[in-house]
Structure 1
Amino acid sequence: MQLGLLAVIGAILAGGFVYLTEPLPLQVLRNSLFDQYQRWQPRQYKPQPVKIIDVDDASLARMGQWPWPRTRIAELIERLQRAQVAAIGFDVIFAELDRTAPKAMLNLWNLPPAARNTINSLPDHDAVMAEALGKGRAIVGFSLDQDGAGSKLPSRSFSVVTLGESPLPFLHGFSSAVTSLPDFEMKASGNGALTFVPDADGVVRRVPLFLKLHDQVLPTLVSEVLRVAQGASNYIIKTSQVEKTGIETVGIGKLKIPTTPKGELWVHYTPAVADRYIPAWKIFSGEVPAESVKGSIVLVGTSAQGLMDLRLNARGEVMPGVEAHAQVLEQILGATYLERPIWAGSIEALVIVVGGLLLGILTLVTGAIASAGLAALMVVGMSVGAWFAFSRHGLLLDPLTPSLCLIAIFILASVIHHLSTEQKQRWIKQAFARYVSPNLVSYLVQHPDDLELGGHRRQCSFIFTDLAGFTSLMEKIDPAEAVAMLNAYLDEMIAIAFRHQGTLDRIVGDAVAIMFSAPVTQADHQQRAYDCALDMHAFASKYAAELNAKGIPFGQTRIGIHSGEVIVGNFGGSTIFDYRALGDTVNTASRLESVNKHLGTKVCISEATLAGCSQADVRPVGRLVLKGKTQPLMVYQPCMTALSSQAPVAEYVQAYSMLQGNAEDALFAFEVLATNYPEDPLVRLHLDRLKAGQAGELIVMAEK
């Protein structure tokens, strides 16, 4: 017990270590669970003042390939500004000069001086766009990377106020930036990072509000559009002052936004919603009423396949990258947050420690059954609780890691308990040496109190088999060879019985006795006996045929099946005893086996067994009065295979039904069958009886 408890404590410590280190496979499993929550219950779309101006495939088809001239972008900005939108955020980086500008074209065209002067006097496209940006409420973007190229810092038009420790250690850090043109950054009202930090599987589950470049805190596009839309000039970042675990909230104007310790927001995705998008070409064509976007935050991005700004979201759907920004903005404006609370880790760790200790001790003391129930209850309870927290309160709790730890502890403690009980059961296993059937051994291991003399009444089924002509075979071939063939035969016959959960009652020479529904009660014991007998017959027939083909006269197997009440239990004395069944049912099954040689059949099954078989293809033999019996027993022959030498069941049954009527009609029917099927033993049996003047279906056996 002490060693087992130490092992359980060690497993708990190992589970805690895995929980704290969070290896990548565990992160993937946890994220997959959180993703499944979103598939089951996505966020319901409720319209917020957030729109996406979509440079989609239709816009490219109508207005030309991307990138568009900066004058066209300037026109888009001015149209949106006239519609009095709250802010315009570009999910596009304008890092290079416009290649369609007049001065850029002069370097490609060979024009006369007058034409060159005319074109040179045209307004510069980038200057036109910069002027449009300068009219207010527009935010350009930049990207951050780790490759070291482009070390220029993006321009800043804000200040960051920190409450608590510096947020820099907690933010995702980068070493380089690709920015928009300096004139654009200077004229724009804001400048935000467009960079996502997807998980290892490429899924965008969180969108950061701030990122870090060297020692600078930089806002993302989401933060900047919220700041510009409210006319705010600073950010307030609050970090945890007690546990120093990271960022707690971000203040932007009137908004107080809860974040992850790294300053991110979990995205609770909605299904795809067409109302979120406005094709860009409709803005230029004037088909969008100004009232539909007035006061809204608009994000300019692209869903066009060729522009490759596509991302994978937590619902397993491909979406334009700009939609992740839009969905986060919807959540913030609607105050519908998806959070993994700071206390989640403590609760999950506590479950691993307390639950693991409780489960481990219970498993060591009681074994697998009760502790498995507790483990299942814990796992189900955590799963239901986590789902409730998500569906009702938008909380992300992880039942997966604690469940895996508890299952590992349960398995370890179960193995330890099993090993510790082996010594206690050794004396029982020594007693089992006198038993043969595995199901009997298993039963008595679990019920050692049954290792006592005595018996009890039970309904059982029995199979008796015997091998014809084996004694004469022993005289014809080498005894060692005959024994080897017999052992192979018996080994498979017994294996078939065990596959049907039968118990080996006894082996007498080449004969085998199998019982069903003892020691373990089997409600379907009659069906099991029937199916087992058919499999035994199939094997024995094939085995004999293979040996006969080799010139070895191995005989056919006769099988009898009967069911009824017997006394089963341990019989013997204090020195040695045997588990077996006693009663007339056993004797009757043995007689049914031996009566096959008089009937010419291979398998006989009683009506008592057949009554418990749901599907049995049989034909009647007759009402037999066995040797030494006074009461007739209805007996049947299973139709194992469609032998050409055997009369069809329907024709045979029709002839058999005539036995109770006119004897001449019955005789004629069986004569016809005998002519067509001269090798059918039952046809020959009844024909001979009818010729001898015996009518009806009652057959009195004069021999065993």
Structure 2
Amino acid sequence: MVKSRLLSSGGGLCMAILLGLCVVFLLDPMPVQKARHAVFDQYQRWQPRAYQAAPVRVVDLDEQSLARIGQWPWPRTQVAELVQRLEQAGAAAVVFDVLFAEPDRTSPEQLLRGNLLPPALATQLAALPDHDGQFAEALKRSNVVLGFAAEQSPRAGGPPLSRFGLVQQGPSPLAFVPAFQGAARPLAQLEQAARGLGAMTFRPDADGVVRRVPLFVSLNGELRPSLVAEALRVAQRTARYRLISSDSGMQRVDIGRLQIPTAASGELWVYFTRPQASRSTPAWQVLDGSAPPLAGSIILVGTSAQGLQDLRFSPLGGIIPGVEVHAQALEQVLTDSLLLRPGWATAVEGLALLLGGLALGLLGLYAPALWSALLMMVLVAALNAAAWYGFVAHRVLLDLFTPSLGLLLVYGAASIVRHMAAEREQRWIQEAFSRYVSPNLVNHLVAHPEQLALGGQRQTCSFVFTDITGFTAMMERQEPEAAVSLLNDYLEQVIGIAFRHEGTLDRIVGDAVAIMFSAPIPQADHQRRAMACALEINRFAQGYVAALGERDIAFGQTRIAVHSGDVVVGNFGGSVIFDYRALGDPVNTTSRLESLNGQIGTLVCVSAAIREHCPEVPMRPVGEVQLKGKAEAVAVFEPLEAMSVPTTDRDEAYEMAYQLLASDAAEALGAFETLSQQRPWDGLAAYHLQRLRNGERGNRLVMASK
């Protein structure tokens, strides 16, 4: 009951923890996001995307190109030449991951501004074509996509030009896509000359790692394509996009023949490969004609030069050029190797947390510790194996590791509650068992459970049996409540005495109490303990009767027997009931000796098995008692302390009369008659006198009844 109550309250605690974890999961705070991203990054590190040749190349404005041609920015005539050579090489589209927001400083028009030049030189410069104009002309003749930089701060000048059509199926996804308030745009003449214009902006996560590339962004409340989307549109010579969305966000973007599933935010999760040298071609090789074939490819022009600061953190670790992120996103689309984070992924993860938490909470609370631990490990391993399989086989991003942490927390809380319940139950059992075994023995058994051999073992024990004379009549004379109260008070005191002497309560039957010593833990001095316990019970009982008598409450005298012998002690009753007790002839003998008191006029009977271990306790012999049904007699003694008029030394008068009785002398009758006249209170002397008058002889007492 104690354990069940604690487990019930512990179940409420585990449920509260689980619901709290579910709320945290739904709120998706930064620590949860970081944990989820770390899982996805680890997946990619374990199994990065295998590189497949795709019609995507990077023309790299690398350190070597800058060293050969000059520092960036190059003259726009040089960039125009680069575009012309790429067009001649058969590029499907040329995409600049470079912002041309400022006029070319090497252009003749720019040189004339603010410079005092000789008139003849100024006239010659004014006659030269504008570099930006030349670049614009090159753009008009080619499939070129320029980029703009989306920003959070507003800018004057209005939104970039729109060169695309847009068909929307479903609700507007504006509320879900990355939102920006302004944009740094290319020069107007360049923007007008380009075939496409896309947002170059990434949205790195809080740790600075780029994991997603948008296909669309919100710019001042209007949808604008990204550089990747425009590259695909221009390369396919298509004029429009088709957006499929739902109330939960964007689902798919159709560009020409391509159908691209997206996250709700309209972003692609980038599945990165290891660095591939064949993906990039230095710009200087394009300009000098030594570049490898580029026909049919989408050409991304960008830079890996550190000084130009277009470097990004990769989930694989390390830093990669920003243009390579665009390139890898395009490769995924064109090779159909997209990473998917479906809309139902969050629901699956939440259900795994909720249902798994319920299962592990119940296991932790109620299942055996070993089984619950094994099942917990199996469940956590199965969830994470399923997530890993989804990534490997279907490129689906499921984070079941982060919910697993929540499952472990719930299981840990349940296990702690279970452990606390077990400890409390152990304390409860200890307290309950302390009502049967002396408390210090319980502590010893808890520390040394191997010394408690349940199931039965033979050992020598001592026993103290007590009973109250006339108890049934007393119950009939008094109100039941009062009689029960008196009995409970009496039993509490008797049991307390037994425990002080480190005895074990064998049983209570009504008003009768059976106490054993040297079980379950052997006690070398168990006979002495039993004797001392019996004498203290006798003193208490006599005082208890006297105290009640002063209140005119009748309470019977307590009869006590003390005996010792070999018995079998252990757990009897099998699996039906726990009954730790002793079985054997000494138990029956002790019970008979207790009843013997009522027949011979004594209050305490002690067997020779006890007497020989307690020579310091003054006693007088009762006789050789042959109990009913027994062939052998038991030497029985009465402690002098338990006499009606106790003495603590010797009872010489009785001993002299008893010696005559034992020797079968004729003078025994006269001796007991004289003794009885002198001691009308001496029940044992009166018993022997009655025997002698009935013609019995000697000190062998044959009992006709139990």
Instruction: Indicate the structure (1 or 2) with the bigger Cα radius of gyration.
Output: 2
How far 1:388 moved relative to its partner? 1.1
Report whether the alignment pairs 1:401 with 2:346. Answer: no
Residues 1:156 and 2:171 aligned together: no
1:4 aligns with 2:20: no
Within a 5 Å distance, the mapping from 1:516-555 to structure 2 comes to none
Q: Give the conservation status (yes or no) of the 8 Å contact 1:432–1:441.
A: no
Q: Does 1:26 align with 2:29?
A: no
1:196 to 202, 215, 218: 202
- What is aligned with 2:430? 428
Conservation of the 8 A alpha-carbon contact between 1:150 and 1:178: no
Counterpart of 2:411? 410
- 1:13 alignment partner in structure 2: 19
Partner of 1:213: 219
1:389 to partner: Cα distance: 1.0
Percent of matched pairs sharing the same residue:
44
Cα deviation code 1:95-147 (max 9, x no counterpart): 01111111211235432111110011101000000010111300111011112
Task: Find the counterpart in structure 1 of residue 675 from structure 2.
Answer: none
Deviation at 1:201, TM superposition (A): 0.3
1:405 positional shift: 1.6
CA distance in 1, matches of 2:161, 2:439: 87
Does the 8 Å CA contact 1:44/1:270 hold for their aligned counterparts? Answer: yes
1:130 aligns with 2:136: yes
Provide the C-alpha distance between the structure 2 equivalents of 1:448 and 1:81, rounded to a whole number of angstroms: 93
C-alpha distance in structure 2 between counterparts of 1:123 and 1:139, whole Å: 23
SS in 2 for 1:169: coil
CA distance in 2, matches of 1:254, 1:410: 50
- Matched with 2:269 is 266
Say yes or no: does 1:233 pair with 2:239: yes
Instruction: Give SS of 1:338's match.
Output: coil
The answer for the alignment partner of 1:693 in structure 2 is none
Q: What are the ranges of 5 or more consecutive residues in structure 2 without an aligned counterpart?
A: 1-6, 460-515, 525-706
Q: Which string of whole-angstrom CA distances, capped at 9 and with x for unpartnered residues, describes residues 71-102 of structure 1?
A: 10111111111112100000001001111111
Name the aligned partner's letter for residue 303 of structure 1: S
Select 1:573's aligned residue among 518, 521, 529. 518
Opposite residue 287 of structure 2, the aligned amino acid is F
- 2: distance between equivalents of 1:124 and 1:153? 26
What whole-Å deviation, never above 9, does each CA across 1:15-73 have from its counterpart, x for those lacking one?
21111011111111111111011111000111100000000000000000010001101
Asked whether the 8 Å contact 2:83–2:142 carries over to 1, the reply is no
Q: 1:436 to 1:72 in 2, by over 3 A?
A: farther
Equivalent residue number for residue 82 of structure 1? 88
Amino acid at match of 2:194: A
Cα deviation digits, residues 493-542 of structure 1 (max 9, x gap): xxxxxxxxxxxxxxxxxxxxxxxxxxxxxxxxxxxxxxxxxxxxxxxxxx
Match of 2:348 in 1: 347
Partner of 1:369: 370
Give 2:519's aligned amino acid.
Answer: S
- Are the structure 2 counterparts of residues 415 and 81 from structure 1 closer, same or farther at C-alpha, using a change threshold of 3 Å? same
Does the aligned pair in 2 maintain the 1:151–1:176 contact within 8 Å? no
**CA-to-aligned-CA distance 1:528-580 (integer Å, 9 cap, x gap):** xxxxxxxxxxxxxxxxxxxxxxxxxxxxxxxxxxxxxxxxxxx970385479x
Q: What residue identity is the alignment partner of 1:219?
A: P
Distance 1:455 1:256, change over 3 A: farther
Compute the displacement of 1:423 (Å).
3.1
CA distance in 2, matches of 1:91, 1:455: 93
1:174 aligns with 2:180: yes
| Correspondence list, 1:109-148, <5 A | 109-148=115-154
Letter in 2 for 1:225: A
Distance 1:54 1:235 in 2: 29
> Counterparts of 1:102 and 1:385 in 2: how far apart (Å)?
64
What are the ranges of 5 or more consecutive residues in structure 1 without an aligned counterpart? 457-570, 580-704
2:441–2:521 Cα contact (<8 Å) kept: no
Aligned to 1:99: 105
Taking the aligned partners of 2:441 and 2:211, their CA distance within structure 1 comes to 62
Superposition deviation, residue 362 in structure 1: 2.1
Q: CA contact under 8 A between 1:152 and 1:178: conserved in structure 2? A: no
Q: Distance in 1 between matches of 2:285 and 2:439?
A: 89
Give the deviation of 1:376 after TM superposition. 1.1
Cα distance, 1:396–1:576 mapped onto 2, change above 3 Å: same
Question: Given the superposition, is the C-alpha separation of residues 124 and 397 from structure 1 closer, same or farther in structure 2, using an over 3 Å criterion?
Answer: same
TM-score, with structure 1 as normaliser? 0.62
Shift in Å, 1:421: 2.6
One of 281, 287, 290 as aligned partner of 1:287: 290
Give, in whole Å, the separation in 2 of the partners of 1:432 and 1:333: 82
Q: Provide Cα deviations, 1:349-383, integer angstroms capped at 9, x if missing partner.
A: 22222221122122211353322222111111111
Structure-2 separation of matches of 1:374 and 1:165: 45
Kindly provide the amino acid, as one letter, of the partner of residue 428 in structure 1: Q
Q: Give 1:322 shift.
A: 0.2
Over residues 595-631 of structure 1, what are the superposed CA-to-partner deviations in whole Å (9 max), with x where a residue is unaligned? xxxxxxxxxxxxxxxxxxxxxxxxxxxxxxxxxxxxx
Q: Alignment RMSD, CA only?
A: 2.4
2:150 alignment partner, SS class: strand
Q: 2:43 aligns with which of 18, 37, 47?
A: 37
TM-score (norm 2): 0.62
Determine if the alignment matches structure 1 residue 357 to structure 2 residue 358: yes
Identify the residue that residue 382 of structure 1 maps to in structure 2. 383
User: What CA deviation, in whole Å up to 9, does each residue of 1:469-501 have, x standing for no partner?
Assistant: xxxxxxxxxxxxxxxxxxxxxxxxxxxxxxxxx
Structure 2 residue aligned with 1:53: 59
For 2:187 and 2:255, the matched residues in 1 are separated by 26
CA separation in 1, counterparts of 2:107 and 2:441? 98
- Tell me how far apart the structure 2 counterparts of residues 25 and 331 of structure 1 sit (CA, whole Å): 29
The corresponding residue for 2:676 is none
Give the structure 2 partner of residue 247 of structure 1.
Answer: 250
After TM superposition, the structure 1 stretch with the greater mean CA deviation from structure 2, 65-74 or 343-352, is 343-352
Question: Is 2:336 the partner of 1:330?
Answer: no
Distance in structure 2 (CA, Å) of the matches to 1:337 and 1:572: 80
Aligned length: 457
What is aligned with 1:309? Answer: 310
Distance in 1 separating the partners of 2:73 and 2:334: 32
1:214 Cα offset (Å): 1.4
Give the whole-Å Cα distance in 1 for the aligned partners of 2:368 and 2:45: 38
Deviation (angstroms), 1:2: 3.1
Amino acid at match of 1:162: Q
The CA distance in 1 between the partners of 2:301 and 2:279, in whole Å, is 12
